Amino acid sequence: MSKTILMLIVIIIALLSLYSCKQENIIPIDENKQANGGIKVEKAIFAAGCFWGIESAFRKVNGVTNATVGYTGGYTKNPTYKDVCSGRTGHAEAVLVEFDPALVSYEQLLDVFWKIHDPTTMNRQGPDIGEQYRSAIFYNNEKQRISAIASKNKAQERFDREIVTEITPASEFYKAEEYHQRYYEKHGLYGCSISNEEKSMKKEDLKFEITKTDEEWKQILTPEQYNILRKKGTEMAFSGKYYKNEEKGLYVCSACGNELFYSDAKFDSGSGWPSFWKPVSDKSVVTKPDNSHFMQRTEVLCGKCGGHLGHVFDDGPKPTGLRYCINSVSLDFKKETSNP
């Protein structure tokens, strides 16, 4: 009898241990917590495609105390990355953001969310396709729900196509495998900034050969060109006329004709914008730190007129390791002609 009781105790302990192991990757999302020093920390959950870059972007926001990648919004318990990639779990790759509301508000995080992905593509971001890459906001309370809806309505004014982001109550958030956490940081990828910022010129140091007033630029540029080149707008991903251009030639500034990039330096980054690994020369473009939208990035400007071209990141191919992510609207293309 004693052996039987002992065996039952061992089995119960084993089952409890197994249950505990399965539950340890579930992060509570329906409560706030006190961080070190008694700081009140709130939580927000966003899905916007591959969670590596989304986590990296939110970590750079002042006031964010932590960001964890994981899976949520589905019906499979304790999913693995392989499970989610199968597209049969209902889960989305998501990021649980913990933040200090005294430094950054939930509404400001929503602003970042709309800026770092395309919310008009259904179940897709860039080359990643499937419902696990859908755009979604998982709200934790009624206040967040109201803010999310209001922010979505405001963001819609900036997009020609309808925003398809789902706004839904938060459910269990399953922490992703450890190798996914801080992925960009572990692999030396900085999706929102480049490491050689010392090469960037400060705004007050920038001087350009061609200078015009806003009114003069409006007379020269189309409304779309003016919005991007002079007001630092961004065209929608995968919408630019040069994104898939494979012809040989030279890309020049659409505002002043300055030579910017040879087609030989163009590559398919899957980002949705024309990408180049180097400019024509060191004088073709200039860069400067860009801390807008609560992110740390490096802006690329035309070296001749100062027009906004895009941003540069250090996740490009060799030999430079750089990715100049450029708006098609900022470019004109001169096709290479063969000698008769």
Query: Is 253 known to be catalytic?
Result: no
Q: How many CA atoms lie within 13 A of 176 on its CB side?
A: 26
Query: Is 50 known to be catalytic?
Result: yes
Burial (CB < 10 A; 0-12, 13-18, 19+), residue 260, is buried
Task: Report phi then psi at 260, rounded to 5.
Answer: -115, -55
CA distance 308 to 231: 8
- 50, 192, 253, 305: which is the annotated catalytic residue? 50
Q: Give me the DSSP letters along 61-128.
A: STTEEEEEEEEESSS-SS--HHHHHTT-S--EEEEEEEE-TTTS-HHHHHHHHHHSS-TTSTTEETTE
For the chain, state the CA radius of gyration. Answer: 24
- 192, 256, 305, 325: which is the annotated catalytic residue? 325
Catalytic residue positions? 50, 325
